[in-house]
Amino acid sequence: MVVGELAQDRQLVIVGGGPGGYHAAIRAAQLGLEVTLIENRDLGGVCLNKGCIPSKVQTQAAEIWNKTQMSSTLGIPVQTKPFEWNKLQQHQDKVIIQLRQGIEQLCKAHKIEVVKGEATFLSDDRIGVSSGHQFDVFRFQHAIIATGHRPAPLFLEHERLLSPHTLYQQNEKIDTLTIVGTDLYALEAAFSYQHLGTQVTLLLEQELLLEPSIGKELLRSAKKAGIVVKKKIELVTVDPNLEEVTIQYKKDDQLHAIQSSHAYVPFNWRGNTEELGLERIGVKVDQMGYVEMSAELQTSCTRIYAIGDVTGTHQLASVAIQQGKVIAERLAGKNAEWDDHFIPVVYRTQPPIASIGWSSLQAETAGREIQVSTATFKSNGYATISGAQEGLCTVIKDSGTDELLGVHIIGEGAAELIHSGTIGLEMGARHEDFIFPMYPHPSFAEVVMEAVEGLEGLAIHQPPSKQTKQTI
Ligand SMILES: Cc1cc2nc3c(=O)[nH]c(=O)nc-3n(C[C@H](O)[C@H](O)[C@H](O)COP(=O)(O)OP(=O)(O)OC[C@H]3O[C@@H](n4cnc5c(N)ncnc54)[C@H](O)[C@@H]3O)c2cc1C
Ligand SMILES: NC(=O)c1ccc[n+]([C@@H]2O[C@H](COP(=O)([O-])OP(=O)(O)OC[C@H]3O[C@@H](n4cnc5c(N)ncnc54)[C@H](O)[C@@H]3O)[C@@H](O)[C@H]2O)c1
């Protein structure tokens, strides 16, 4: 092994080039810091290479394919040829490479030093990077740990058992897929695989973690799409062999078995910290390998921060990105704050789901007295034009203060529509703040307006509620 002679001095060293790490690196460089970014695999991390991007390539294909099947009402002939799985995989590879090259070029343009290799802390101000026979040592003023996490199987590892990291790495069409779970991975995969021709069975051990009106609508859409849904099941055994996977589960005290070519079953997660030598420098890590940190994202070593999945909270790229920017700005002397009050959650199911703020249950648990109102896409003009009448928007407000507490949407455009909810909730909007502005017509956004108007029984396209007549 060739050991670099002297420790090279750096202002900021970031370990991990996923969304958290590379956003922190670019923002720090924009603000004048000298940055070294260490990555042992591919820039872009799980999000670009296995997660957000590949999953959204597939959910996008499912969405478009689904639309082409319904296009005849608009005079567009229905596509009759089978779906070309290999072309989707080629497109996925191309998208990943293109986006990764974009990140590489941005790092270069910002003069960020990207070091390929495995990083290990040697002391609280030195880090070593090994790559093949080379071992370099950097002395840093500050460091950020952004090494992510990985699924830790609860069952035997087998190629027929898909994990969140292998769900979108299939080179051939899957015939039958049994999915056990209610998390985002499970639901997104259930819909996209089913729409692209796989027969999916969805086994739900618990209630969906969604506002009840949204969960009910999602299950209605699942059944309409042909997904076989079994609720309130208890998983008993998972048995993969060369040809198939057999899953045994209990429902209503009866034992059932289902065979499928592949299965997705629950996982644990572990923070990627084993190789970092954190015990040597006193950075605290919990039993599952997640770095313990303060509300300011500082670890037990004051010059070392942790962001993203490795912290064991939220586990969304959007969170890692925001944390990365906040820490970079603070290190550059700016007054930036990390706040996790409002995190938009998007499920790219068909139709998609987006939520911000509290569900009705969460609001009640927090002791709020609430009013809830729902408007449907069925009564929206643009949804009718677009053949996208599945879906609804539910809003929740505090009945005392009129403050909006939650916006939950299932329906076309939900991922974009939710942004007005995020800004509204961030600004402490009351229900009048959502009603005062003008909404474009015809547009999906009018569903949100009508849900808010419905809080007072004033949604134009909903049937009248019982009201007392007022004298004019
Ligand atoms: C199927 C799937 C779909 C998803 N969809 C979404 C979505 O739509 N929206 C969303 O917001 N989130 C989504 N996520 C979650 C998202 O991928 C993660 O939250 C995000 O990648 C976290 O970013 P990170 O920077 O913390 O870590 P990662 O992306 O995991 O990056 C960590 C990087 O550190 C590197 N590394 C680890 N150890 C070392 C070491 N010792 N030395 C050097 N480098 C090291 C790794 O190689 C990796 O590149 C999805 C995840 C999956 C699996
Ligand atoms: N589209 C995506 O963003 C995407 C896709 C795939 C995977 N993921 C990953 O999925 C992981 C797991 O997601 P999850 O759904 O298990 O996570 P989660 O715990 O973050 O919950 C998701 C949503 O459910 C809401 N919720 C929680 N308890 C509730 C309750 N009792 N009633 C109503 N709503 C409730 C939360 O407020 C949140 O909006 C995340 O860590 C993320 O990394 C994200």
CATH architecture for the domain at 351-456: 2-Layer Sandwich (3.30)
pLDDT value at 405 more than 80:
yes
pLDDT value at 467 more than 60:
no
The answer, yes or no, to whether any atom of ligand 1 lies below 6 A from the CB of 275, is yes
C-alpha atoms less than 13 angstroms from C-alpha of 113 in its C-beta half-sphere: 14
- Based on the residue annotation, tell me whether 441 is a catalytic residue of this protein: yes
Whole-angstrom CA distances from 66 to 79, 87, 128, 344, 352 are: 10, 17, 50, 25, 13
Give the pLDDT score at 346.
97
The answer, yes or no, to whether any atom of ligand 1 lies below 6 A from the CB of 167, is yes
Q: Of 16, 13, 12, which is closest to residue 45 (Cα–Cα)?
A: 16
pLDDT value at 358 more than 70:
yes
Residue 82: count of CB within 10 angstroms of its CB: 8
Residues 304-319 have a mean pLDDT of: 96
C-alpha atoms less than 13 angstroms from C-alpha of 178 in its C-beta half-sphere: 25
Q: Which helix (H) or strand (E) element contains residue 470?
A: none
Nearest atom, ligand 1, residue 52 CA:
5
The answer, yes or no, to whether any atom of ligand 2 lies below 6 A from the CB of 344, is no
Pick the CATH number of 8-150+270-331 from 3.50.50.60, 2.40.40.20, 3.30.1310.10, 1.10.3720.10: 3.50.50.60
Whole-angstrom CA distances from 378 to 45, 268, 461 are: 40, 39, 10
Residues 401-405 have a mean pLDDT of: 97
Helix (H, G, I), strand (E, B) or coil at 395: strand
How much of the chain, in percent, has pLDDT values that exceed 90? 89
Token pair, residue 300, equals 């037990």
Give the domain ranges of the chain.
Answer: 8-150+270-331, 155-265, 351-456
pLDDT value at 470 more than 60:
no
**Top-level CATH class of 155-265?**
alpha beta
Give the pLDDT score at 465.
67
Q: How far is CA 72 from the centre of its chain?
A: 33
- 397 Cα: distance to centroid of ligand 2 (angstroms): 21
What DSSP state is assigned to residue 285? B
Question: Alpha helix (H) ranges present in 236-331?
Answer: 278-281, 317-331
Q: Which of 158, 165, 419, 441 is catalytic?
A: 441
pLDDT digits (tens, 9 = 90+) for 220-274: 999 999 999 999 999 999 999 999 999 999 999 999 999 999 999 999 999 999 9
CA distance linking residue 195 with residue 60, whole number of Å = 11
The answer, yes or no, to whether any atom of ligand 2 lies below 6 A from the CB of 43, is no
Q: Would the CATH topology of 155-265 be identical to that of 351-456?
A: no
How much of the chain, in percent, has pLDDT values that exceed 70? 97
Whole-angstrom CA distances from 356 to 57, 360, 425, 472 are: 24, 12, 8, 39
Token pair, residue 284, equals 């605290």
Ligand nearest to the CA of 100: 1
Ligand 1, atom 47: closest residue by C-alpha: 41
Ligand 2, atom 20: closest residue by C-alpha: 314
pLDDT value at 281 more than 60:
yes
Whole-angstrom CA distances from 18 to 273, 355, 435 are: 15, 25, 40
pLDDT value at 2 more than 70:
no
Range 17-37 burial, b when 16+ CB lie within 10 A, else e: bbbbbbbbbbbbbeeebebbb
ipTM: 0.89
| CB contact at 8 A, 181 and 265 | yes
CA distance linking residue 388 with residue 287, whole number of Å = 46
Residues 360-385 have a mean pLDDT of: 97
pLDDT value at 206 more than 70:
yes
The answer, yes or no, to whether any atom of ligand 2 lies below 6 A from the CB of 342, is no
pLDDT digits (tens, 9 = 90+) for 448-465: 999 999 999 999 998 876
Helix (H, G, I), strand (E, B) or coil at 116: strand
Token pair, residue 396, equals 């929740």
Ligand 2 pocket test: pick from 63, 209, 347, 353 the residue with the most ligand atoms within 8 Å of its Cβ: 209
Residue 224 backbone dihedrals phi, psi, to 5 degrees? -60, -35
Ligand 1 pocket test: pick from 52, 58, 315, 422 the residue with the most ligand atoms within 8 Å of its Cβ: 52
C-alpha atoms less than 13 angstroms from C-alpha of 411 in its C-beta half-sphere: 31
The dihedral region occupied by 457, where left means phi > 0, alpha psi between -120 and 50, and beta the remainder, is left
Residues 359-378 have a mean pLDDT of: 97
Give the pLDDT score at 165.
95
Mean pLDDT rounded to a whole number for the chain: 95
pLDDT value at 78 more than 90:
no
